[in-house]
Structure 1
């Protein structure tokens, strides 16, 4: 960094520039630029297979050969060189296939060599129509083959995993897949084996390709050697209609390309968004789009008559809803869940206040706490991208601390960006956890061993926090008393920056839309008179309720004891909650339950009216990711009749109540929320939460793995088959002390699960870790830190 003497302002120096000549055209590029990139800057596309801008150069395919008569020192290379591995030099002269017969002949020769054993099965290959080998053979290859021998063949396909299939004879040995696995995801379970004409992609015989990012190797494969079980033989690329959209599965905000044919989504590919997911996607985002195709899809309104849900018309269903909610006389709760676009969430926020006259609204359909609500109001709500920690900060940070957050499972693209910063910038990562998970091990993270409930004390005593530190807080810290207030205090003391990364895609948008009992849109406190006047004036109503409402858990408890009479509930699965028993009891006891849903669930089974909401692929809108960056959701499957989104349903209900929601389309709602803007007044203080009481016996630790039993993974069998086996983890010392065998029983006193035991080195003693949601039935709902019992299971019990 230099300083301008006249202005005393810091000035970022320009990178060293190098001037060279490519095909007779002079071009200046930053020092270190590869020749293949410099050629792109003047519009010359050098053919390539192994080269990828996000992978380290390897020069494996030799397709990008160029002639270099002058390397910048007055001497040239006697033979063509690979342009994907050679950096530019001052004064260098390069001749590509455009101007050099030597380069052109070299490229044609390499293509001829690659095609010797490559099968000409383009009409049945999934890559046919979008294949670089196909395209370059036409543009840079010979018109006909001189090879008359027998092509190499292999048995096909090879199941590298349940999701990824390999046709070995198609492989051109570019090593893109192996480099991605090793450099980007850290899962080196595929490799080049053998030599010469027998060289091929191989796997460990006993271990399938186990990666949350395996679909990326299919997308970057330049031929049809790697295909996915989900898309294989489904469509030709030129029959697909492509739409750019944003992933709905987590808060990373990944851009995806969704391809549909005949109004049915056939595949998803990672989009190109350098600021967020670059060109990568996790397997859940790539393959998890089948969840709306089951027999449990709600397609028309249902009204309960004589104790049975029966089909009804929209006018009849709306009339029943109005009667049921009015009868509750204001004792109504609203729960929105964390999967809605920001526009739909804003619709629920306004409907609750303007139509129902209540602040009883909460998006947290998961374990939550009042401490978390205060933290979100004080530190997260009302922020912009510029005010928030973002992905680029990982590259400039010196230290990242993970608290209650497993990035590979809970936000996979955050994991990839952290791993990139670790590789490129030597970022130091510290994790506060009971053991070093597979994901944090791939980040070379320093483990601070801590039992559940001890995170606040560990964070309070953690050294090395300064202005270059970013503390990433997962949504699980809501169940760990004192962590959020401790993090706030440490940030104020050290200058460290905080970022909250929830697991669901719609949570940040719901927060900004005001779907919290103590918060109005834009981070405005419900208790602040000026904030209420501000929003009321914008919405065109005389007043808004000022008393903070009930949280989601409190709403269910109030329904169970009769103090709350009715509930409007959208996209909430009671089995995601900390206490599903109380939630279901509350729904059973409610006078009226309105469910706005896409699929039948435990809520719809207890609802008086079920209104069908359109799938995400049938509507437009935006998600706000954890950075507060808006990611556009585009309509993938346009319907002949405008689908009933949550927003349109709420507008119709408001009309029936004699009120005006003010918008029906997502574009109108988004503009209205932006016009309202962020709160510029005093924010509520992030007061200290409770303290953790150390549990006796074995403490429970848990989190959701990426591929679990959640509904978003439904109906994609190959994806579900790649889920990691459920198991229980204990330290070797604890396992030996309890005299445990291969199978253990973990019980919280109410429920129990039987799981294989894995003794994990370095794990905290007297802690057992189990996955949070391995199946719909075999799971515990106890909060982290809850004392549980762990006992051995004898062979006859496990049968």
Structure 2
């Protein structure tokens, strides 16, 4: 990477051994037979490397840095910049070469002698000449260039170039900048034609919308006239650019590198677990870059993780507690707000009594933490619910879910530790995707799958109604399934999907919507020996499962209904009488609140629109006797809350995210504020005031307690038997809805960055040509249910199953859950939008 990345900042820095072929890994990681090694001499030092190793890598192994611009260990060699020239003299074995060679494309050969700039005047002169050539037209605008201070060209001009320029002509100029996309800007005169950006786009992301055009002195980075640079990974091209040719619209001219403080942390947007380098100044985040963790995100991240960090930093940020008085929320002090919350919780418990003063069946409390929390804070909610409120009515799943999914998580996920890994994906022979679109729902999984497809011939199969854009880039094979019938399709896979012990089945959180799908997935892996992994969409979901924020699970995978598990936890927590019955899930909690069964709610950062039935969530919030909201910004929940506690942003808290692998990823606090606390401290303060101390007040204490508890090694949950859902049967003019959340959509986590939002894919309704019945693409199509309607332009998708239409779950400014009240597998009516005169959609009313 370029100097703006976390670890491989210096382009002269030796590559990490994890970047080398498996055979080049240090002893103990990979055993290399001597017959597979070749020995060469670099600057008089013998070095043995695996066959096929490039000379530039061989030099790195003995600490010799050869300057370069186009070379990148994760990209295929190009030999574009010619900066890494070395001399290969004749050593009497026929390995000599008459002219300097580019070491980034030259393979090491037995007996080869290589002389770098350190020992060869010829190599030194060649490198100096290339630098002089690159600077002929390069503008000397370092003081205003965003790359200034962290620029490899700048550094190498000082370390390997001439002190003065002999060029006296007029430098080439271009109009600047031009928008490759809304987020990425190009200054063409700075480009040194290294082709890093174009190779990344084609080889890594699979989005070849940019390319080198023209030839000779006119060569430049160009874009397709009719296709914008639409890529979820475009920000990586900015980071690996070795000069200031590519810049970010969000960061351009905002700061100088030497004014910034850098802190490593983990991305909060999905379950990939990406390492980030967060650059901040004077209490504000300036930019986020991809970190270098070979076992997780390598050196890449998605644009959402890179650019979506502005939300909740504006006028809607809550910085003081709020208490409802005369039906209006007013600012209050922390002690006043805590007292008000305690009164409300106690009143809810007191009112949950019959006429004789005996407790009414069921708990009066419900706790909904949401999936945005670190594992330690989720643990705080789990412990608060059980030890302070005495309830198992707790569920972090603020999304469509089923009771079957809760059983699946208890049986196959909770307490299982590190399971299937990114390396397993790269080494798999086949990967089966079920209810999961990697590019949208876990982008780094997508990049790893694409890498394995390109380099190892991995076969990818996806169970769904169509081949998505991302699946097409994986050369995936579609296993047709009408939404809602995935269980029966998994039970009757075609013969071409011959899973083995090297295969992996990836089930997304959407696989938990249709009944029977998760059970069928488990049956499949048990029958074939394949590995199974669950990939949630939110960063905090896996950690929340481990922390016990489910109605059937205690921390570490302990079952609520298992007496020995409760005894184990009671001893650790120093309490007695933990509730023994499975609690209500999130949907049931809100339904009970609407009916008066649950009287008080503790809600931690959720949105009604994320649920299967948003209206039911809103109704539960409005009908509950008392609502406490822990939130960072004004929301639909805070608008209905009785007490609101402001909580910290991701950069203001520390803790641990557990990614989809089960790997712990550290979140680092580097900014602070005097007015807000993290969720754990708020819950600890409430517990103290309730007279039942939580026992943990800090993230460190919570993590230590979790580690001491460890995973449960006793009885595991049996997967509950579930009947397969019957196939949906659309009537005349109807179709079955397919849908998922796209990476960049109507998310409150990304709503503060307009340049990022402008890169979102155009929302469309997709159907096959037969269903479209001659309608041209772009025709407005109306999807409707009893709950509402949505109009989007038509897009023809040839491989879409008959009787199925696809629409994004959260197009900008809308949600299917609120506009249609529908989830995948529901039936919708498909018609032309009013006022359109054309042939009707097949089977639909005009």
**Whole-angstrom distance in 2 between the partners of 1:406 and 1:189:** 21
From 636, 656, 660, the equivalent of 1:622 is 656
Q: Does 1:769 align with 2:806?
A: yes
Q: Does 1:575 align with 2:609?
A: yes
In the other structure, the counterpart of 1:790 is: 830
**Whole-angstrom distance in 1 between the partners of 2:551 and 2:92:** 68
In the other structure, the counterpart of 1:308 is: 328
Deviation at 1:737, TM superposition (A): 8.6
In the other structure, the counterpart of 1:683 is: 716
From 439, 442, 445, the equivalent of 2:470 is 439
Deviation at 1:14, TM superposition (A): 3.4
Give the TM-score taking structure 1 as reference length.
Answer: 0.97
Secondary structure, aligned partner of 2:510: helix
In the other structure, the counterpart of 2:424 is: 393
Q: Does 1:422 align with 2:459?
A: no
Secondary structure, aligned partner of 2:692: coil
Q: 1:75 to 1:477 in 2, by over 3 A?
A: closer
**Whole-angstrom distance in 2 between the partners of 1:32 and 1:546:** 61
Aligned pairs for 1:272-421 within 5 A: 272-329=292-349, 330-385=363-418, 388-421=419-452
Secondary structure, aligned partner of 1:165: strand
**Whole-angstrom distance in 2 between the partners of 1:530 and 1:153:** 75
Q: Does 1:90 align with 2:110?
A: yes
In the other structure, the counterpart of 2:3 is: none
Unaligned runs of 5+ in 1: 1-9
**Whole-angstrom distance in 1 between the partners of 2:156 and 2:675:** 43
1:120-163 CA-to-partner distances (Å, cap 9, x unmatched) read 00000000000000000000000000000000000000100000
Secondary structure, aligned partner of 2:89: strand
From 247, 250, 256, the equivalent of 1:227 is 247
Deviation at 1:781, TM superposition (A): 3.2
**Whole-angstrom distance in 2 between the partners of 1:776 and 1:591:** 31
Secondary structure, aligned partner of 2:124: helix
In the other structure, the counterpart of 1:707 is: 744
Q: 1:296 to 1:424 in 2, by over 3 A?
A: same
In the other structure, the counterpart of 1:126 is: 146
Q: Does 1:500 align with 2:540?
A: no
In the other structure, the counterpart of 1:14 is: 33
User: Is contact 1:741–1:793 with CA below 8 Å preserved after alignment?
Assistant: no
User: Is contact 1:740–1:791 with CA below 8 Å preserved after alignment?
Assistant: no
Secondary structure, aligned partner of 2:591: helix
Q: 1:202 to 1:467 in 2, by over 3 A?
A: same
Deviation at 1:318, TM superposition (A): 0.3
In the other structure, the counterpart of 1:656 is: 689
In the other structure, the counterpart of 2:589 is: 555
Deviation at 1:20, TM superposition (A): 1.4
Q: 1:236 to 1:214 in 2, by over 3 A?
A: same
Deviation at 1:44, TM superposition (A): 1.1
In the other structure, the counterpart of 1:204 is: 224
User: Is contact 1:618–1:643 with CA below 8 Å preserved after alignment?
Assistant: no
**Whole-angstrom distance in 2 between the partners of 1:484 and 1:23:** 59
**Whole-angstrom distance in 2 between the partners of 1:72 and 1:51:** 30
Deviation at 1:797, TM superposition (A): 10
**Whole-angstrom distance in 2 between the partners of 1:331 and 1:347:** 19
CA RMSD between the two structures = 1.6
In the other structure, the counterpart of 1:667 is: 700
Deviation at 1:247, TM superposition (A): 0.2
Q: 1:516 to 1:145 in 2, by over 3 A?
A: same
In the other structure, the counterpart of 1:38 is: 58
Secondary structure, aligned partner of 1:117: coil
In the other structure, the counterpart of 1:745 is: 782
Deviation at 1:468, TM superposition (A): 1.9
Q: 1:77 to 1:728 in 2, by over 3 A?
A: same
In the other structure, the counterpart of 1:170 is: 190
Deviation at 1:90, TM superposition (A): 1.4
Q: 1:491 to 1:72 in 2, by over 3 A?
A: farther
Q: 1:613 to 1:296 in 2, by over 3 A?
A: same
Q: Does 1:513 align with 2:533?
A: no
**Whole-angstrom distance in 2 between the partners of 1:111 and 1:533:** 71
In terms of mean alpha carbon deviation, does 290-299 or 214-223 score higher? 290-299
Q: Does 1:160 align with 2:180?
A: yes
User: Is contact 1:70–1:94 with CA below 8 Å preserved after alignment?
Assistant: no
In the other structure, the counterpart of 1:456 is: 487
**Whole-angstrom distance in 1 between the partners of 2:712 and 2:520:** 25
Deviation at 1:687, TM superposition (A): 1.8
In the other structure, the counterpart of 2:728 is: 695
Q: Does 1:194 align with 2:232?
A: no
User: Is contact 1:619–1:643 with CA below 8 Å preserved after alignment?
Assistant: no
1:390-439 CA-to-partner distances (Å, cap 9, x unmatched) read 11101221000001100000110000000001011100000011111100
In the other structure, the counterpart of 2:521 is: 487
From 622, 631, 645, the equivalent of 2:678 is 645
**Whole-angstrom distance in 2 between the partners of 1:795 and 1:449:** 34
User: Is contact 1:726–1:770 with CA below 8 Å preserved after alignment?
Assistant: yes
In the other structure, the counterpart of 1:6 is: none
Deviation at 1:72, TM superposition (A): 8.0
Secondary structure, aligned partner of 1:402: strand
Secondary structure, aligned partner of 1:106: helix
Deviation at 1:694, TM superposition (A): 2.2
User: Is contact 1:401–1:429 with CA below 8 Å preserved after alignment?
Assistant: yes
User: Is contact 1:452–1:699 with CA below 8 Å preserved after alignment?
Assistant: yes
In terms of mean alpha carbon deviation, does 40-49 or 511-520 score higher? 40-49
Q: 1:112 to 1:407 in 2, by over 3 A?
A: same
**Whole-angstrom distance in 2 between the partners of 1:75 and 1:374:** 64
Secondary structure, aligned partner of 2:749: helix
In the other structure, the counterpart of 2:668 is: 634
Q: 1:71 to 1:211 in 2, by over 3 A?
A: farther
User: Is contact 2:95–2:111 with CA below 8 Å preserved after alignment?
Assistant: no
Secondary structure, aligned partner of 2:783: strand
**Whole-angstrom distance in 2 between the partners of 1:711 and 1:793:** 29
Deviation at 1:750, TM superposition (A): 1.0
Deviation at 1:688, TM superposition (A): 2.4
In terms of mean alpha carbon deviation, does 146-155 or 444-453 score higher? 444-453
Q: Does 1:528 align with 2:562?
A: yes
Deviation at 1:638, TM superposition (A): 3.7
**Whole-angstrom distance in 2 between the partners of 1:469 and 1:328:** 51
**Whole-angstrom distance in 2 between the partners of 1:539 and 1:382:** 19
Secondary structure, aligned partner of 1:19: strand
**Whole-angstrom distance in 1 between the partners of 2:429 and 2:649:** 41
Deviation at 1:740, TM superposition (A): 9.9
Deviation at 1:571, TM superposition (A): 0.9
In the other structure, the counterpart of 2:157 is: 137
Deviation at 1:25, TM superposition (A): 1.2
In the other structure, the counterpart of 1:3 is: none
From 239, 249, 253, the equivalent of 2:273 is 253
**Whole-angstrom distance in 1 between the partners of 2:718 and 2:427:** 30
**Whole-angstrom distance in 2 between the partners of 1:239 and 1:74:** 53
From 56, 62, 76, the equivalent of 2:96 is 76
**Whole-angstrom distance in 1 between the partners of 2:323 and 2:600:** 16
From 768, 771, 784, the equivalent of 1:734 is 771
**Whole-angstrom distance in 2 between the partners of 1:11 and 1:420:** 20
**Whole-angstrom distance in 2 between the partners of 1:509 and 1:296:** 28
In the other structure, the counterpart of 1:755 is: 792
Deviation at 1:87, TM superposition (A): 1.2
1:219-262 CA-to-partner distances (Å, cap 9, x unmatched) read 00000000010100010001000000000000000000000011
Q: 1:95 to 1:609 in 2, by over 3 A?
A: same
User: Is contact 1:397–1:427 with CA below 8 Å preserved after alignment?
Assistant: yes
User: Is contact 1:71–1:89 with CA below 8 Å preserved after alignment?
Assistant: no
